[in-house]
Structure 1
Amino acid sequence: MEYGLVGLWLATYLVLGLATLPLAAALFPRFEDAGAALAVPLGLAVVAVVAHLVGHLAFGWPALAAGLVALLAASALLGDAAAVQERASAEAAGVFAAAFVLVVAVRAYNPAIAPLPVAIGEKMLDVGLVQASLRADALPPEDMWFAGETVQYHYGGHMLSALLALLTGTAPRFAYNLALAGFYAALVTAAYGLAGAVGAVHDVPRRVAAGLGAFFVGVAGNLHTALRVAGWLLPDGLASSVPGVPADAATWTPTDFSYFSASRVLPVRPADPSVTYQAATEFPLFAWINADLHAHMMSQPFMLVAVALLFSYWRGDASTRRLVLVGALPPVVGLVGLVNIWSFPTALALTALALLFAPGDPTDLLGRYGEGLVDDAASRARREALRVGAALVGTLAVLAGAVLWTAPYWVGVVAEGPGQTVTVWGHWTPLGPLVVVHGVFLATFTAYFARRTATGRVGPLSILFVGLAAVGVAALGAPAVGLTLPFLAAGAWRLRDRPDTGFPTLLVGAGVGLVLLVELVSVEGERFNVIFKYYAHVWLFFSVAAAVLLPALARGRPTLPDEADVDRERLRRTGTALGVGLIALTGLYAGFAVPAQLGGDPVGAEGPTLDGTAYTYAMYPDEAEAIAWLNGQPGRQTVVTAAPGGYRWRPEAGKGASAPASLTGHPTVLGWFHERQYRGDEPYERRLSDVRTIYQGSAADQRDLFDRYGVDYVYVGPAERTKYDVAVADHPDLEVAFQAGNVTVYAVRT
């Protein structure tokens, strides 16, 4: 086990956070911890945004140095060192360390950066982008799966991981897992700080809300595991009659548990029985156990930083609001898009909602220029029009600033990528899967809004009527409408009628709005990703809101001052019972999944290790030697490998997963089939044909293709020998550069 590297990376993250504390204190002046729990992701954000800009001139140490200098300068010039809370900072560091060590422990027993049959997912894409970034002289990096072209992918998180590897002097095979642990720890700590800050405003003890925020974001799972356990415990006949319990639950036992199953409960195309695969409805603990270093995961800490900035705006005076809206939010939202383009619309939409519903007069942002725009005698319609206009202008300003801060990415990657068509989606997801995914949170919000709306004007019977109407809509074939519209209506009403309902209500509205939107629209050819990416945001918003609302319910709240006859003790008992029950149900997944990951020896290693390529020496020993040799070659060397690569590394079936490119960052002429999506059919098919010609065509055609693609090496391993009638051994322009067993790497003579 590489304990030295673990200590080095943990210290690096904490030192970055320490350097960011004054800046965090300035941006979050009304947070009880002065933003200490947000310091690490905020510091990483500053480094990433500046390094990305400088990296288009010179990547590597120049970009890293610029990012670090910018962070120190921002903290020194804009920060508030006197406001830093030392005790709270130590507390946040402890939370970060605990979360970091958890993922390190899990990955130490399952470190493989591999496709099937060793691991599930797209780890080869992720490590390839990290390696390609490290080999880049300037951004964007060359695509390791499409030699000669820059990446057509949101690479910001992989770029940041590469910078951390460079800063610590860590080989990518270790840096992958350590960066993964760092992003998880940053996410959990950000949730801890944000939930604590929101809770403190709503008369919830800060540490209670903070702890629940960390739990729901970092530990909790959906109801899938709880339903499996219920089916196992209940008699067979009774289990099959309980709504939501899977049909095969009666035969399930704890030994059948798979960490993967809980992430696949929602049908991609419910109206098409021929489509049997499920959408990814991930929650963070699943994602980090599955351990792709993927864009949707790395963006989550920065999404919570953006949410925290919006809460600081929500609570701040005019000067804080200006600092957040003009200075801090645009680069953070830009980074969210750079790391994961799917998150960009969500960040902007949440910005619009926060600006629209935030308490106070939006004209305060204009200082003396806003005086006289609205007076006490102004009509409600005029005030509302001004508020809507201010929210629109503010959101557009954030959009413009976000694009400017990350302009090279939008010009060089997004604008050059394939177009996407938004379409109307005409298939409703069944009620059962929606409840499995969102049920715990919706139960919390139902209890909260029922208490909030039961006033003298709106009695319990009215609330019951609305609830029954929603159930009726759900039963009539539009489940998402029935589940979401009551919350949208109640939330909008409470935010306009009583702004003290506050930020949790805004997060609930944003979450249920996304759930409904995903049911109404899609992106052509991307239905899986539409559900996958936006449900990740829903989980974050619901988690932070529930972390505040559950303890509020347990304290007998919320009730209105004029309701003196309310039995608060009964409210406290029912709220506490609800909270304990929901925590237990959502914690079952972690109780099964985490212990199952610990113990045993990783493939290719004796004892725990963070070496993500150790498995290659056990399963593909000759290829492991050849890949290690290629990895030692300087710069970017174009390599030809079997195409297309994909989710399996099975040489006997002609599938090599583009491993020589993915594990080294050296570009190959054509890698994974994802390039069809990134580049279009014609360029993809042309390269697919050209790779075939390179392996089994005439010498003249091969020579032309060597020149066209600037080929440096031709890799001939077991997958290539299975897939092609290889005819390169006697080519006059090739010579053996490396050989190990059944793998030969030929160099193109220059």
Structure 2
Amino acid sequence: AQLSGLSSAVAFNLGIALLFALTASGAFSLAYNLAVVGGGEWGAGLSYGLLGSAGVVLIGNLEAIFEVLHNLPGVLPDAFWAWLDVKNLATAPVSGPGIPTDHWWWWRASRVIHDVVGGQSLEVIDEFPFFSFLLGDMHPHVLALPFVFVALSLAFQIFLSGRERLDRIELVSLSLVIGGLGFLNSWDLPTYGSITVLAYALGRWISGEHSTGRWISEVLRFAVVLFALSMFFYLPFWISFRSQASGLLPVLFVKTRLHQYLIMLGLFIYVGLGFMIARGAELRAALGDAWARRTLGQAARVSLGLLIVPPVVALVLIGLVALDAGRRAVILEQLDRVASLVPPEIAVAARQTDFLAIANKAWLEPLLKHPWLSLLLATFLGMAFFSVRGSWQRMGLPTGSPPTRNQEASSVNRESSALFATLLLAVGLGLTLLSELFYIQDVFGTRMNTVFKLYYQAWVLLALAASYGLYYVRQRITLAGRVVRRLGTAWSGGVALLLASSLIYPGLSIPAKTASSSTKPRLDGMAFLGAARPDDYEAIQWLRANLDGAPVILEATGGEYSEYGRVSAYTGLPTLLGWYGHELQWGRNAEQLAGREPAIDRIYTSPDVAEVVDLLERYQIEYIYVGSLEIDKYGRQARDRFRGLLDVIYESRGVIIYATGHT
């Protein structure tokens, strides 16, 4: 806003539109190139590029179709809605005929995955890009989206080049992009940095210019240099960076139910499954039954390992916690804080150091109750392993040997696109599997934020993989026999049905979100305030025009998602306290915020002048704002209580702004 000379109210809306456009074009570019490098003509690239772009930013999950069904009374029994268990859907008002009309129905699509422990609901966030743009969200996970596609495009180029060393300009540019992702959204640095390293590793392996030992050393060197430079270029940020993350903990008591997972990612899973089946059929036909049986056995071992290793790791972690007095004390303290959520036998077992009982109740029983997602993901990742091994073999590279002369470049490129798309698919699935196993310990105390951030990344990766997967399967169908073509037609019908279902969300949510607006659509994000609260609107405009720098202004504080904090939000001036819960989420700790809300109350209500002056000096407050919200909260006496004590610098339409004289 400052660089452009625009007001922040206009710049914010332009910024959201710009982020949407940059994200859409970035997704289109990569999806287009996957199809074209994979052998498609420019028309195919255009079509599947648009599908990839739509998959990332335009479609929603499948929750909206259940909103429609819920608003058709009697279509499905109450038992179905109880089983579906999308948070708050079963109790939502029924408007009929099929169109949800309650103002916040569109919010439920971001709460599809529902964890329940001890009969109590735990918040889980599963947002996706279109939801973010509908919300007008400019949090880090949205700000970073355009740069995600820059990183993925560079990773694809590195993969295709297969060169051992990047020149200095390439390495610096790549490190600036990967490091910038960490600066914008710290969750993205390990994910997309790792994808870049994997792309380099696959590209080097395909080049066939090395032994296995040399290949490993090259990959390790590249990874170390990339991450070191990515951190170095943003060192001032990392020096002052403070994270709320305090460790890695196993996910206990809950497992994601398969049907909720499919509501969230069903379109991509369906296309990805078709992609892997088509890959398997082609690889078997090209490489023979003997190779297929041998590699299928290896893939089965990969899947089995993914099912066995996580419980073993969880058991070890639980054992370490139970056997270590210090760790156990921390766990017991946490158990006391959430006693109502934890089954009593778990608390007893923890105090008795019975970690086998803990593992059984906290890990094994939930897994046995809801095993299907783990089975699906383990099988899927085994299929991805099969596809990767097949690509290596088809390119003449089972042990690192170079391609033979009679291999056509188009065939190599086709395998390259299939291999990179498989990488995106595997990483996307792996991210969702990780959220079933571990979560980052943070201010929320549950896996809520971990699911949110990992599923958001998975959506992007799976949408891209699905766009290429759809292209790949359609190409296979056109070359197949009659039976396969019929099966392919049926499969394509399923894709069309799921895609249409995914478009229900944007089709219904946009009018639902905008229907209650008090003004016509416009770029000025403050325009509604002029109609809803003209007193505040004029006062805020005066503050923006007449105050320089960043003086602290005091206003009333209140609950989350309320009008409180409006002066600070629309002027950019710091205030003593905004929404308390969000302040905690934004990196402040409880000690920093302790006492601030009572201090605000005392300043507006205390009859002790000395106490008020002391609080104003302690928090370096330069201005006090008294408007309708302050009067509603503290009474009409708050309006004039500072007269004679402080200077009035603004008074109009019932709003008074006082200057404290502190600078």
TM category (shorter chain) comes to 0.7 to 0.9
Alignment of 1:498-509 (within 5 A): 498-499=391-392, 500=415, 501-509=418-426
What is the distance in 1 between the residues matched to 2:73 and 2:39? 40
Does structure 2 conserve the Cα–Cα contact (< 8 Å) formed by 1:230 and 1:245? no
Which secondary structure state, in structure 2, belongs to the residue aligned with residue 482 of structure 1? helix
Q: TM-score when scaled to structure 2?
A: 0.75
Secondary structure class of the residue paired with 2:186 = coil
Determine whether 1:399 maps to 2:243: no
Counterpart residue number, 1:522:
439
With over 3 angstroms needed to count, the CA separation of the structure-2 counterparts of 1:670 and 1:593, relative to structure 1, is closer
CA 1:309–1:272 in 2, change beyond 3 Å: closer, same or farther?
farther
8 A Cα contact 1:314 1:358, kept in partner: yes
Corresponding residue of 2:474: 554
- Supply the AA of the counterpart residue of 1:263: S
Q: Which one of the candidate residues 571, 574, 581 is aligned to 1:667?
A: 574
Deviation digits for residues 696-725 of structure 1 (CA, Å, limit 9, x no counterpart):
342223223333332210112233334447
Kindly indicate whether residue 543 of structure 2 is the aligned counterpart of residue 636 of structure 1.
Answer: no
1:654-694 deviations in Å (ceiling 9; x for gaps): xxx21111111111122221333422222211333333333
Structure 1: runs of 5 or more not aligned? 1-164, 365-373, 650-656
Q: For residue 611 of structure 1, what is the amino acid of its counterpart?
A: D
**8 Å Cα contact 2:110/2:131 also seen in 1:** yes
SS in 1 for 2:215: helix
CA drift of 1:320 comes to 8.4
Q: 2 CA distance for matches of 1:272 and 1:397?
A: 47
* Aligned with 2:380 (options 474, 487, 497): 487
Which of residues 709, 714, 717 in structure 1 aligns to 2:627? 717
CA distance in 1, matches of 2:204, 2:390: 11
Whole-angstrom distance in 2 between the partners of 1:581 and 1:448: 17
> For 2:464, what is the secondary structure of its paired residue?
helix
Structure 2 residue 502 is the aligned partner of structure 1 residue 586: yes
Pairing partner for 1:275 from 110, 121, 140: 121
Is 1:408 matched up with 2:236? Answer: yes
Structure-2 change in CA distance of 1:435 and 1:324 (3 Å): farther
What is the CA-CA distance between 1:197 and the residue it aligns to? 0.5
Pick from 236, 259, 262 the counterpart of residue 109 of structure 2: 262
How far apart in 2 are the matches of 1:551 and 1:317? 24
CA distance in 2, matches of 1:234, 1:452: 43
Report deviation, 1:176: 0.7
State the partner residue of 2:264: 437
Task: Report the AA paired with residue 693 of structure 1.
Answer: R
Cross-structure match for 1:171: 7
Q: 1:740 aligns with which of 640, 652, 655?
A: 652
Counterpart secondary structure, 2:249: strand
Code of the residue aligned with 1:582 in structure 2: it is L
Deviations 1:382-436 (A, max 9, x none): x1x4434433332222221111222221112x1x444532211112111221111
Verify: 1:291 aligned to 2:136, yes or no.
yes
Aligned pair in 2 of structure 1 residues 193, 621: CA closer, same or farther (>3 Å)? Answer: same
Equivalent in the alignment of 2:147: 302
Paired amino acid for 2:100:
D
Deviation at 1:356? Answer: 3.0
How far does residue 505 in structure 1 lie from its aligned partner after superposition?
A: 0.2
* Counterpart pick for 1:701 among 588, 611, 616: 611
SS at match of 1:341: coil
Partner Cα separation in structure 1 for residue 497 and residue 631 of structure 2: 57
1:513 corresponds to 2:430: yes
- Cα RMSD of the aligned pairs, angstroms, is 3.5
What's the counterpart of residue 200 of structure 1?
36
Distance in structure 2 (CA, Å) of the matches to 1:507 and 1:292? 26
1: distance between equivalents of 2:168 and 2:117?
49
The answer on whether the counterparts of 2:31 and 2:49 sit within 8 Å (CA) in structure 1 is yes
Residue by residue, what CA displacement relative to the aligned partner does 1:221-256 show, whole Å, maximum 9, x if unpaired?
Answer: 111123444566797358966985978599664321
Work out whether residues 712 and 748 of structure 1, in 8 Å CA contact, stay in contact via their aligned partners in 2.
yes
Q: Post-superposition shift, 1:557? A: 5.5
Pairs within 5 Å for 1:337-486: 337-360=182-205, 374=210, 378=211, 383=212, 385-412=213-240, 414=241, 416-426=242-252, 427-454=254-281, 455=284, 456-457=289-290, 458=292, 476-486=369-379
- Classify the secondary structure of the residue corresponding to 1:390: helix
Return 579-588 or 192-201, whichever deviates more.
579-588
Shift of 1:179: 0.6
Match of 1:729 among 638, 641, 650: 641
Provide the C-alpha distance between the structure 1 equivalents of 2:267 and 2:128, rounded to a whole number of angstroms.
13
* Residue 569 in structure 1 maps to residue 485 in structure 2: yes
The letter of the residue matching 1:210 is G
Cα drift, residue 587 of structure 1:
2.0
Unaligned runs of 5+ in 2: 309-366, 393-414
Q: CA deviation at 1:743?
A: 2.2
Q: Deviations over 1:422-473 (max 9, x none)?
A: 211112111221111111111111122122224224479x79x979x99x99
User: 3-state SS of the aligned residue for 1:256?
Assistant: coil
Summarize the Cα distance change of 1:702–1:748 in structure 2 as closer, same or farther, 3 Å threshold: same
DSSP-derived class of the 1:221 partner = coil
Deviations 1:193-238 (A, max 9, x none): 0000011122342112201111111211111123444566797358
Which has the higher Rg, Structure 1 or Structure 2?
2
Partner residue of 2:348? none
Tell me: CA distance 1:723–1:233, structure 2 relative to 1, closer, same or farther (3 Å): closer
User: Is the contact made by 1:208 and 1:551 (CA closer than 8 Å) also made in structure 2?
Assistant: no
Q: Distance in 1 between the 2:208 and 2:551 partners?
A: 57
Could you give the per-residue CA deviations for residues 715-746 of structure 1, whole angstroms, max 9, x where no partner exists? 12233334447677346651111122332111
Task: Give the partner amino acid of 2:552.
Answer: T
> Which residue does 1:336 correspond to in 2?
181
AA of the residue aligned to 1:509:
A
The alpha carbon displacement at 1:188 in A equals: 0.5
Aligned length: 549
